[in-house]
Amino acid sequence: MLIRMRNSSDISPSEITPQSIYLDRRRFLAAGALGALGLAVGPGRTRAADAPAASPPAAAGTPPKLAPIARSPLSTDDPQTPFEAVTRYNNFYEFGTDKEDPVRNASKMHARPWRVTIGGLCAKPGAYDVDDLIRANRLEERIYRLRCVEAWSMVIPWVGIPMADVIRKAEPLGSAKFVAMRTLLDPQQMPGQRRGILEWPYVEGLRLDEATHPLTILAVGLYGEVLPNQSGAPIRLIVPWKYGFKSIKSIVALEFVEEMPPTSWNRQAPNEYGFYANVNPAVDHPRWSQARERRIGEFFRRETLPFNGYGEQVASLYAGMDLAKWY
């Protein structure tokens, strides 16, 4: 983004996943074929190591089995980006700025036990163990497109909690207009926080009507299993019609506020990243075009869609706003 921004067409061949592994990855795992495809993950980063223990209930710090998971009509049927790409090609600057730094370094983070506080302008503030939050809510699979402001995209089968459910239970006051969110601050666990790339902790925010929109989820898993650390474990935002940087990872706090809260990338470069950051192919980033994108795993670039293809559901949220100004 601000640092080390490569030309969007400059994705190395190793980052482009062969179409062939869209086939059932379990079959490939069983056949030991990932190595043959050059897609073996690094030491200790096999999917099995990230999977929840098969054992029964829930010692503190043991991730729960994510079940039941309801399917959702809000999912896309675009082909899904393979698990290996979703969990190796990441932006998570708390662990470094190279795409594979998060998978290499995020095992330092203790994603469990994990507390999330919900507070600010609401009648029912609280502090929750993330697994209690998960058990208290319904889980849905949401297969969404993710469009990074850097002009690449993926299709990811998240498992998440509709954010509206969490917000409703907190009973925000009439004066609450925005939800501010914050990532863990702990340079011991997050070595990237020893460098001043961004002001830490990472912060983000949504208008309350955006946060309670049915498409907005708090993701706690992907591909049916708990989130790997590099993907923002144990809980992260997904707001699929906005550029990826809005989808803040490893959240420790939600706060209802009256004024538009500061957001990390807007604070870093206000002329490049807006608060709203809705995907908009008609408004270029000052340093590159947003008209097209590279879907990871595909060879040809494809056109970027307004609101990342979710315009029918969300455009009305922005009626009357100048989207060129607020991109």
Residues at the contact surface with Mo ion, assessed by CB under 5 A: 91, 148, 244-245
**215 interacts with, out of ligand MTE, Mo ion, none, CB within 5 to 8 A per kind:** none
Nearer to ligand MTE, 161 or 248 (CB): 248
Nearer to Mo ion, 64 or 297 (CB): 297
The answer to whether the beta carbons of residues 102 and 227 sit under 8 Å apart is no
How many residues bind ligand MTE (CB under 6 A)? The answer is 17
x-or-dash string of contact with ligand MTE, 232-251, rule CB under 6 A: x-----------xx-xxxx-
CB of 125 to ligand MTE, least distance (A): 23
| Site residues (CB under 6 A) for ligand MTE, limited to 74-93 | 90-93
x-or-dash string of contact with ligand MTE, 148-167, rule CB under 6 A: x-------------------
Nearer to Mo ion, 255 or 293 (CB): 293
Pick the binder of ligand MTE from 8, 80, 229, 231 (CB under 6 A): 231
The answer to whether the beta carbons of residues 138 and 165 sit under 8 Å apart is yes
Distance from C-alpha of 234 to C-alpha of 130, rounded to nearest angstrom: 7
Pick the binder of ligand MTE from 50, 84, 94, 101 (CB under 6 A): 94
**80 interacts with, out of ligand MTE, Mo ion, none, CB within 5 to 8 A per kind:** none
Nearer to Mo ion, 160 or 244 (CB): 244
**183 interacts with, out of ligand MTE, Mo ion, none, CB within 5 to 8 A per kind:** ligand MTE
The answer to whether the beta carbons of residues 237 and 227 sit under 8 Å apart is no
The number of residues in the chain equals: 327
| CB neighbours of residue 295 within 10 Å | 19
Pick the binder of ligand MTE from 133, 139, 146, 151 (CB under 6 A): 146
CB of 227 to Mo ion, least distance (A): 17
Q: Which residue is nearest to ligand MTE (CB)?
A: 244
Backbone angles phi, psi at 49, to 5 degrees: -65, -25
CB of 97 to ligand MTE, least distance (A): 9
Nearer to ligand MTE, 122 or 182 (CB): 182
Our finding on whether 41 is near ligand MTE (CB under 6 A) is no
**217 interacts with, out of ligand MTE, Mo ion, none, CB within 5 to 8 A per kind:** none
Give the SS3 label for residue 183: strand
Q: Report residue 323 as tokens.
A: 């989207």
Which pairs from 165-170 meet CB under 8 Å and 24+ separation?
165/137, 165/138, 166/118, 166/133, 166/137, 166/218, 166/254, 167/208, 167/211, 167/212, 168/212, 169/124, 170/118, 170/122, 170/123, 170/124, 170/125, 170/126, 170/254, 170/256
Region of residue 49 (phi > 0: left; psi between -120 and 50: alpha; otherwise: beta): alpha
Q: Report residue 61 as tokens.
A: 């710090």
Nearer to Mo ion, 65 or 99 (CB): 99
Nearer to ligand MTE, 21 or 106 (CB): 106
DSSP string of 239-303, one letter each residue: -TTB-GGGS--SEEEEEEESSPPP-HHHHH-TTT--SS-B--TTS-BTTB--SEEEETT-SS-EE
Q: In what order do the strands lie in the sheet with 178-183?
A: 126-129, 115-120, 251-257, 178-183, 203-207
Return residues touching ligand MTE (CB under 6 A).
Answer: 90-94, 146, 148, 183, 202, 231-232, 244-245, 247-250
